[in-house]
Structure 1
Amino acid sequence: MLRAHTVEDVRRAEAAAMADLPDGALMQRAAAGLAAAVVDLLDGAYGRRVVLLVGPGDNGGDALWAGARLAGRGARVEALLLADRVHAGGLAALRAAGGLATRDPDDLSAAPDLLVDGIVGIGGRPGLRPEAAAALARFPAVPVVAVDVPSGVDVDTGRLDGPHVRADLTVTFGTHKVAHLVDPAATASGALHLVDLGLDPDELGPPALEALQPDDVRALLPRPGPDAQKYTRGVVGVRAGSGTYPGAALLAVSGAGCGLVGMVRYLGPEHIADTVRTAHPEVVGAGRVQAWVVGPGGGDDAGSMLAEARADGVPVVVDADALRHVDAPMPGCVLTPHAGELAAMTGVERAEIEADPLHHAREAARRWDCVVLLKGHHTLVADPAGRVRVTTTGVPWLATAGAGDVLAGLVGALLAAGLEPYDAASVGSWVHGAAATEASAGGPLTAGGVAVQIPRLVRATLNPSGSRPLE
């Protein structure tokens, strides 16, 4: 599991570590990891030109000490000092190693190979001071490595407010930070590299949010036992589609029929049911289910679809048109809005939800007393207790019509197979994104292509070695 912590958590854990270590040892660990990451990115140090943008705090100290290490390996290192006072020990080390330190931007190389952002760290406020923004603007095409976090982002919320660094690589220390994983700041972090500082997990405490990794998904995916039959594996029902959007029913059924449950039932307009059965002859009609998927393409009938599904007393995945009819707490269910749909449900402007999705996902989960899967570049899954998981799988090509219908069906299948709503939503989102990545292979995809890829992705996740289980 990848875990991210708040600034307060990190500071508490770092203080505990420093109490047991020689003075400066933690910064040296950070600087060593940062320098190694820069060398790896540049494929060497000798002869490379590196500019450090150095602010007043420990973040700047990390950059200066790393710069000293790079200079010692033959790199040409120049530090632009953006504060009256910077880390004295780091500055002395850089100069002793042959590096340049200046307050005049005109002293810097015109075309460095790399910028190191040591402007502000986890204690910085959103936005950049004018002199820092101007320094960045001098090198618009130069790759940037951010120290711990991209300067100018809101570390604990992921919000962006004013100028900020957009990094190609962020080298972070001890644990991931919320801004690395939550949009919109996550888009400014680039690739992530974590340097282990040896922080005590007990001092860090519970994470602010998590991101599933393949081993976590493997442990959560349902598998049939030796005595399984189709009913014990779970039955998921789909109420979706209308004359205007018949394809939504097909796509939701495709997601639900990915093989993770024993049976899929479809209830909807008869002419759509005929089309569904033609495309998916294994799909059957009315009967008992362990979970419902309601709303994709439902149009004017979505309200009655939702009421009928809720009357069964089983978990419901509420998607698309059915979200307009959520007017009371929905314990045990999963809501799957994108930012526009959540805006319509809450009366909050879409732009505000996109600016602070973590806050709004948590608030929605509390308001409706259920799991909320807020779709986006990094989809968030929040539960009423405040837990959040972020999905880091997926590709931009996944922003395509019908992809959400497939996701709703997949989450419904996982619910019917027995996963708790929080796990069903987060595993479903991870699998959906990973399947899309494979289906895309670097190019365009369709929602139907994602659905086809899901069983293959599940098979590969369950059997990472490539071997098949014995019959």
Structure 2
Amino acid sequence: MRVVTAAEMRDIDRTAIEQYGIPGVVLMENAGIKVVEAVCEQLGGCVKGRVVTIFVGKGNNGGDGLVVARHLLNKGADVRVLMVADPEQLVGDAALNLNIWHKMGQKVYPVHQPNGINMVKVSLMSTDLVVDAMYGTGFRGAVSEKIGRIIDLINASGLPVIAVDIPSGLEADTGQIKGPCIRANVTVTFGLPKLGMVLEAGVAVTGEMVVADISLPKPLLAGRKMNLLQRNRVRQWIPRRRLAAHKGNFGRVLVVAGSVGMGGAALLTATACLRSGAGLVTLAMPEQLHDGIVGAAPEVMTLPLPQENGVLTAKALGALVDKLKFMDVLAVGPGLTRRDEAVDLVHQLLPHVNIPVVIDADGLNAVAKDLAVLERVAGPVVLTPHPGEMARLLGVTVDEVQQNRISLTRQCAEKWACTVLLKGARTLVATPQGEIYINPTGNPGMATAGSGDVLTGVIAALMAQGLPPAEAAAAGAYLHGMAGDYGALQLGMTGLTAGDILENLPRCIKEVEDY
């Protein structure tokens, strides 16, 4: 599903009005009706006799709220409209709807005045539901002190809250919350989701997101600059298996991973490849790990390699280059260590790669020593950093990465001509063409050792089955997060392990295939 910024949504609305001839007041009317439907559902299907308090601002969001007020009144609800701005400030379609409200013999209560807080307290004491129509997608920064107090009262009331288009106090483009913000049970957003609602902080205050059709022409809603991943899209990507297929049809993956003390990372990556559908997986690791790996995962083929103190070195290069000739995908990095010997091996190996490659963990740490090595990789590259690894790649702080996740991920993908997957709450996947995928699956329990190693294996397996790098990374993130969600549902987040994610992968793939 496409996701838009505030400016993009304004352009869509303007085009609908100016080029298609749909009056703005019609769009406002349709928006209000969709919110009314959500109110009715939240109140059990009947609003007659129920008390609804609507907080209205001065912009078009407030106009939407006034449409909601009118329709609820007609349905028999007891509607109170509390204005957080001077009613004289309303213009255009919002002013038109305010005028209609007055002609229906109804009042608005200006709570921006000195006694406004008491008015809010009294109203909330006898209200069944709150509608938030204070601020729309144009909001930036922090609300005023008085509006902040009103928002705090609404949040503390325990009443169900429905936000109109976006929760007041949330920035539509960044998902940042810089002061008090409405915590909605349901947000009815119009046309398309707004970017800030699907990012980390925004998700927590948006509640259930209802994307409402307000009669915007479908061609205006098309586009793929930013996308919220959905199950149906991932289902379309997952390759179907022919009855006459054999293991060679599903790709050969070479995993270069592991060191003494970190053999588990290698094992998780290789096993995740198999669990995600790769036909054949070969694990290249220090020879000292060989016997333990064979005993733990007999389905994984092995390539024991020369080592020094349990770490792969450049002495392994020849064997790896020979093996690459028979492989479809390379995954490199989990558990290699940051020692100079491993770094040298990665830098010498990558220029020989002419197949798709996933670079993760210590592979990324090696690349961070000299990013120019990426230019010498002949095959398509997927980089899968967590925020700390991204910070090392860019030479910035983790805070800088987290404050600019979308822009930095997109810039890196374009500059390095790679698919870049930035892990974290709402994992992002950026393509070299500037497209962004936002992953809605996953949970904090997945912040555990080995989780990223499993993801590397999933992505490598999907590429081995023919998915392009961006689609493999996006689908891999979705399936990986979904498996983590199932694990958390069964076991809780606290004790979730990478092995639990791995165990749930086949179930999740099947469920998506059957969707």
TM-score (norm 1): 0.91
The corresponding residue for 1:67 is 69
User: How far off is 1:107 after superposition?
Assistant: 2.0
Tell me: CA distance 1:350–1:319, structure 2 relative to 1, closer, same or farther (3 Å).
Answer: same
Which residue matches 1:176? 193
Unaligned runs of 5+ in 2: 304-322
| Candidates 266, 275, 291, aligned match of 1:249 | 266
Contact residue 127 and residue 162 of structure 1 kept, 8 A: yes
Query: Which of the residues 280, 288, 291 maps onto 1:263?
Result: 280
Deviations 1:83-138 (A, max 9, x none): 22233333344453756533223223243343322122122223212222121122
Instruction: Name the SS of the counterpart of 2:302 in structure 1.
Output: coil
Q: Which residue of 1 aligns with 2:22?
A: 21
Hey, what does 1:196 align to over in structure 2?
Answer: 213
Partner residue of 1:88 out of 83, 95, 100: 95
Q: What secondary structure sits across from 1:266 in the alignment?
A: strand
Q: Is the 8 A contact 2:155 2:183 kept in 1?
A: no
Higher relative helix content: 2
Distance 1:346 1:184, change over 3 A: farther
Cα drift, residue 158 of structure 1: 3.0
Task: Note the alpha carbon deviations across 1:367-405, whole angstroms, 9 max, x for none.
Answer: 322011111111100012110001112233222221111
- Tell me, yes or no, if the aligned pair for 2:154 and 2:182 is still in contact at 8 Å: no
Shift of 1:316: 1.6
> Distance between the aligned counterparts of 1:252 and 1:397, measured in 2?
19
Between the aligned partners of 1:21 and 1:366, the Cα distance in structure 2 is 38
Q: Give 1:133's aligned amino acid.
A: G
Alpha-carbon contact 1:431-1:454 (below 8 Å) kept? yes
Q: What does 1:354-393 correspond to in 2, within 5 Å?
A: 354-393=402-441
SS in 2 for 1:117: strand
Contact 1:407–1:432 under 8 Å retained in 2: yes
What is the match of residue 151 of structure 1? 168
Deviations 1:10-46, CA, capped at 9 Å, x for gaps: 2232223335235621111000001111221232423
Partner in structure 2 of residue 468 of structure 1: none
Does residue 1:303 correspond to 2:343, yes or no? Answer: yes
Once the 2 structures are TM-superposed, how far is the Cα of residue 260 of structure 1 from its aligned partner?
Answer: 1.1
**Counterparts in 2 of 1:302-451, with a 5 A limit?**
302-307=342-347, 309-310=349-350, 311-326=352-367, 327-328=371-372, 329=374, 332-441=380-489, 443-444=492-493, 445-451=496-502
Asked if the contact 1:241/1:297 (under 8 Å) is kept, the reply is yes
TM-score by length of 2: 0.84
CA distance in 1, matches of 2:500, 2:105: 55
Q: 1:294 aligns with which of 314, 332, 337?
A: 332
Partner of 1:31: 32
User: How far 1:168 moved relative to its partner?
Assistant: 2.7
Deviates more, 1:131-140 or 1:304-313: 304-313
Where 1:138 maps in the other structure, the secondary structure is: helix
* Counterpart contact for 1:295–1:319, Cα < 8 Å: yes
CA contact (8 A) 1:9 1:204 kept: no
1:45 aligns with 2:86: no
**3-state secondary structure, aligned to 2:58:** coil
Secondary structure in structure 2 of the residue aligned to 1:28: helix
Partner AA of 2:110 in structure 1: T
The answer for unaligned runs of 5 or more in structure 1 is: 465-471
Superposed CA offset, 1:339-394 (max 9, x none): 12211221222122222211121122123220111111111000121100011122
Count of matched residue positions in the alignment of Structure 1 and Structure 2: 463
1:55–1:118 contact (8 Å) kept in structure 2 = yes
Offset of 1:304 from its aligned partner?
A: 4.1
- Which structure has the bigger radius of gyration? 2
